[in-house]
Amino acid sequence: MKFEDIKGFAFDLDGVIADSARLHAKAWHQTADEVHSEWTPELAEALKGVSRMDSLGMILKAGGHENDYTEDEKVALATEKNTKYLKLVESLTPDDVLPGMKAFLDELKASGYKMSVASASKNAPAILKQLKITDYFEGVVDPAKLHAGKPDPEIFSLAAGVMDLAPEVVAGLEDSGAGIKSINAAGELSIGIGNQLMEADVRFADTSEVSLKNIKAKLG
């Protein structure tokens, strides 16, 4: 995709706009300890962008415990994790927008780009509100309505639809491997936050580097 083709940006939230990926990880780490699955950096990375119940499934599987819990017990574990996560989220303020992202949102708004949110999190609207940035976006895709989560393209396809744009003119921003796959499969330009995201069309080491000028420079 050429820089000039881009008309809208679809954003993942946790780890791209909000400094909340570490809070998900902290709460899941406690769940992993509780079910006696080893918490490793690889597991933490693999959970990014994955829905609540699928994340729990991966944590149980990591310890070989996938058959040790009933469906009701799994729902209880996931609910417990979410309660802990929401307790941590209470401390988030507008200062917890990740470095450079408020400036990027302002730049996009001033330049007339459309924006939407493609987060697997059911808590996304609450976090946007807490960070006081809800009004930048045309809308937020409701992950409860998805047939399949990331890496399936559905969420990023819907995020283009929310902006009334074709995927061919949308760039998606993601900090997870599953999310980059979803953007690519949707036929959008993938912008990865994190140098490990080898499948991304464009990569930045961290959010502080994200700007229209730098995206244009990387697209060449």
Q: Does 15 bind Mg ion (CB under 5 A)?
A: yes
| Residue 141 CB partners (closer than 8 Å, separation 6+) | 116, 117, 118, 119, 155, 158, 159, 162
Q: Does 25 bind Mg ion (CB under 5 A)?
A: no
Active site residue 201: no
Q: Which residues in the 115-144 window bind ligand BG6 by CB under 6 A?
A: 119-123
Query: Of 82 and 214, which CB lies nearer to ligand BG6 in the complex structure?
Result: 82
Q: Which stretch binds ligand BG6 (CB under 6 A): 44-52, 110-118, 166-174, 187-195?
A: 44-52
Active site residue 68: no
- Using the rule CB under 6 A, which residue among 11, 23, 32, 51 binds ligand BG6? 51
**How do 170-174 and 114-117 pair as beta strands?**
unpaired
Q: Does 181 bind ligand BG6 (CB under 6 A)?
A: no
H helix or E strand, kind and range, residue 82? helix 71-89
Query: Of 34 and 199, which CB lies nearer to Mg ion in the complex structure?
Result: 199
Q: Does 49 bind ligand BG6 (CB under 6 A)?
A: yes
| Nearest Cα residue to 11 out of 43, 45, 49 | 49
Q: Does 184 bind ligand BG6 (CB under 6 A)?
A: no
Q: Does 14 bind Mg ion (CB under 5 A)?
A: yes
Residue 58 near residue 46, CB atoms below 8 Å: yes
SS3 content of the chain, % helix, strand, coil (to 5): 50, 10, 35
For residue 61, the one-letter residue type is K
Q: How far is the C-alpha of 104 from the C-alpha of 72, rounded, in Å?
A: 43
Q: Which residues in the 174-203 window bind Mg ion by CB under 5 A?
A: 175-176
| Nearest Cα residue to 65 out of 36, 30, 34 | 36
Q: How far is the C-alpha of 29 from the C-alpha of 182, rounded, in Å?
A: 25
CB of 24 to Mg ion, least distance (A): 9
- Using the rule CB under 5 A, which residue among 11, 12, 133, 137 binds Mg ion? 12
How many residues sit in the footprint of Mg ion (CB under 5 A)?
5
Binding footprint of ligand BG6 on the chain (CB under 6 A)? 13-14, 21, 24, 47-52, 55, 82, 119-123
Hey, which residues are catalytic here?
12, 14
